[in-house]
Chain A
Amino acid sequence: MTDHDRLFKELLSTFFVEFLELFLPQVARAIEPDSLAFLPQEYFADLTAGENKIIDLLAQVRLAGQEVGFLIHLEAQASSQPDFARRIFFYFARLHQKYLQRIYPIVLFSFDEPYRQEPNRYSVEFEDLKVMEFNFFPIQLNRLNWRDFLNQRNPIAAALMSKMKIDAADRPRVKVECLRLLATLRLDPARSQLISGFVDTYLRMNVEEEQVFQTAIGTLEESEREGIMQIVTSWMEQGIAEGRAEGEQVGEARLVLRQLARRIGEVDSELRSKVQTLSLTKLESLGEALLDFSQPADLVKWLEGNRPG
């Protein structure tokens, strides 16, 4: 599973109901939201693709006010592949055989290209007999216009706008709109980070785009601007905390090396790299020890006595 697949799966499983509300409102209305339960992962030996296939998401739902339930199979597809509709039919058939329930198949096509419409039908027929026709519900992101989703108060819209058809010049604007929409939803921090992380992953700005992005944020009204800044800041803070620990070690190593140079002359590259990998605690004791160093051999001896681990 690639990072891309994982990201989609996490997004779709976290916001499954919202996903249905956005793209399949008729299904969302018909089901009992509380009845939603994800079934364990299904592994299939996929002979045509020569790999083990894991079904992306399989959800059990019940119709509102009724005992009867059905399954929803949602597959996120990151590339355009020949015979894809047939594969989905095979998965359908195996799931159907195993669960003996109705299955609603949905495919979310998430690739940037090609733009042409993906087939969503697989049939077996003869001139005189139509044996079967299988259809799934297709959502092809690169054929959707992000502008149509601007006012959808839905976290899935905020995330998936970043994967829709976007003119290169609009990329910074779409990123702003995704985050603006996200900020209005007031999700809890973890969910908010999932969406903003998704958006940032697919809308990475180059230097020029970043400038346009910043300028666009500056023109928003204050509450929206603050909402976006809060999202950005929470990521920055997380990064700062992570970078800080790393930096402290680097800083101390740098300082110790400078002091060593002054004390015992320039340290050769092998010893230098040994010093650079010392832990913070070891660096501190080396810092103290070097006050008494007078020749390179003192450092070698100290390092021998303080091997890591």
Chain B
Amino acid sequence: MQIVTSWMEQGIAEGEQRGRLEGERSLVMRLLTRRLGTLPTSVEAQVQALDLPRIVVPESCRREALSEALLDFAQWSNLNDWLQVNS
């Protein structure tokens, strides 16, 4: 039988939080690629690094701002500009 312990509940809560961040990040990466073409490794690393350290990220977090900003990106320089300001 499946037992759900208090420790497992803590883990689920933590996992959900991690998963949410990962889900958002992977979608952002996907959309950036779609908008701008395949990301150079260095840029990808910069975007990935926005999530670290993996802690509770407030609603106003930069990466989320990126998720909205990217809607207006048309070229590489847009992303680079954004990263310059926000990294």
Residues of A within 8 A of B (CB): 3, 6-7, 10, 193-194, 196-198, 200-201, 204-205, 232, 235-252, 254-256, 258-259, 262-263, 280, 283-284, 287-288, 291
Contacts and interface: CB of A to CB of B under 8 A. Distances in A.
Given A236-B14, A243-B12, A258 B23 contact: no
A177 to B, nearest CB: 17
Contact of A200 (B1, B5, B16, B64): B5
B27 A287 contact: yes
A251 B5 contact: no
A249 B30 contact: no
Contacts of A201: 3, 5
Given A255-B67, A283-B27, A237 B22 contact: no
B6 to A, nearest CB: 6
A255 B28 contact: yes
6 contacts: A196-B5, A235-B11, A243-B12, A251-B20, A263-B71, A288-B31
B1 A6 contact: yes
A241 B14 CA distance: 9
A7 B21 contact: no
Contacts of A238: 8, 11
Chain B interface size range: 20 to 34
B74 to A, nearest CB: 11
Contacts of A283: 27
Given A251-B21, A288-B31, A291-B34, A235 B15 contact: no
Given A236-B10, A258-B64, A247 B20 contact: yes
Contact of A247 (B5, B7, B17, B71): B17
Interface in B6-58: 6-24, 26-28, 30-31, 34-35
Interface of B: 1, 3, 5-24, 26-28, 30-31, 34-35, 64, 67-68, 71
A243 B15 contact: yes
Contact of B23 (A205, A262, A280): A280
A232 B15 contact: no
Given A251-B23, A255-B64, A237 B11 contact: yes
Contact of B16 (A236, A247, A256): A247
A200 B19 contact: no
Given A232-B7, A250-B20, A288 B34 contact: yes
Given A248-B22, A287-B31, A258 B68 contact: yes
Q: Which 4 residue pairs are nearest across A and B when measured between Cβ atoms?
A: A239-B11, A247-B19, A243-B15, A251-B23
A243 B13 contact: yes
A161 to B, nearest CB: 17
Nearest to A210: B6
A243 B28 CA distance: 21
Contact of A197 (B3, B20, B28): B3
Which residue among A236, A242, A263, A283 has the maximum number of chain B CB atoms within 10 Å of its CB?
A236
Contacts of A236: 7-8, 10-11, 14
B31 A10 contact: no
B13 A256 contact: no
B68 A259 contact: yes
B64 to A, nearest CB: 7
Contacts of B3: 7, 193-194, 197-198, 200-201
